[in-house]
Copies of this chain bind each other. A is one copy, B any other.
Amino acid sequence: MISFIDFCDYTGTFAFAISGIRLASAKQFDWFGAYVVGIVTAVGGGTVRDILLNSTPFWTEQPSYLIISGLALLFVIAFRKYLVTLDNTFFIFDAIGLGLFVVVGVEKTLSFGHPMWVAIVMGTITGSFGGLIRDILINEVPLIFRKDIYALACLGGGLVYCGCMMLSFPPTPTQFVSALSIFLIRVVAVKYHISVPVLKGEE
């Protein structure tokens, strides 16, 4: 049986890959190109974190991320007409994955001996840079900088993690509370259309 953590990891990977594959399909990518964009969306954030930590990329340790991204491609091909009706489901999966990815990023960075503020930055990178690279690959201005609260939710979760540690919470509640806070920030921000103000231009 897979653990709860693995379940969240696979769910998030699937949702992240789906988002990359759908945006690639809107740009007329071929199947293989869409698959690559799906993988990069799913593992890109953690890969940038691992590069910055001088660590072996996490996805080289087991092929599950590539397999799940492949399943996401097949899912999009098979059910493309019904994808829009699943938007809310994908959103929930994405938010679950985001919470987990950030917490994993924070913990891995701390385990490398970095201070808390670096861990929060790395957690934010883990959660948000997959979507960032996705948007670069499809040649669009990155969505995470212009819509809803996404990268900021990662930062918020990192701060909650930091707060839990300062309050001497044990590890498991710390992980759970910070992942949950990211999930809730995302859900509330999207439901109530809360977003960061746009930076006004000079004219």
Chain A positions within 8 Å of B, measured between CB atoms, are 21-22, 24-34, 36-37, 47, 51-52, 54-57, 60, 63, 66, 76-77, 80-81, 83-84, 114, 117-118, 121, 132, 136-142, 144-146, 151-152, 155, 195-202
Closest chain B CB from A202 CB (angstroms): 6
Give CA–CA (A136, B141) in the complex, Å. 9
Q: Could you tell me if B57 and A199 are in contact, using CB atoms closer than 8 angstroms?
A: no
Partner of A80, one of B63, B76, B138, B200: B200
Closest chain B CB from A6 CB (angstroms): 20
Q: Could you tell me if A199 and B52 are in contact, using CB atoms closer than 8 angstroms?
A: no
Question: Within 8 Å CB of A132, what residues of B?
Answer: 137
Identify the closest chain B residue to A117 (Cβ).
B63
* Number of chain copies forming the complex: 3
Identify the closest chain B residue to A30 (Cβ).
B196
Q: Could you tell me if B24 and A199 are in contact, using CB atoms closer than 8 angstroms?
A: yes
Decide: A57 near B47, CB < 8 A? Known: A141-B139, A146-B28, A151-B36: no
Q: Could you tell me if B139 and A140 are in contact, using CB atoms closer than 8 angstroms?
A: yes
Closest chain B CB from A31 CB (angstroms): 5
Q: Could you tell me if A141 and B141 are in contact, using CB atoms closer than 8 angstroms?
A: no
Closest chain B CB from A198 CB (angstroms): 5
Identify the closest chain B residue to A73 (Cβ).
B199
Decide: A25 near B201, CB < 8 A? Known: A32-B196, A33-B151, A151-B33: yes
Give CA–CA (A24, B196) in the complex, Å. 14
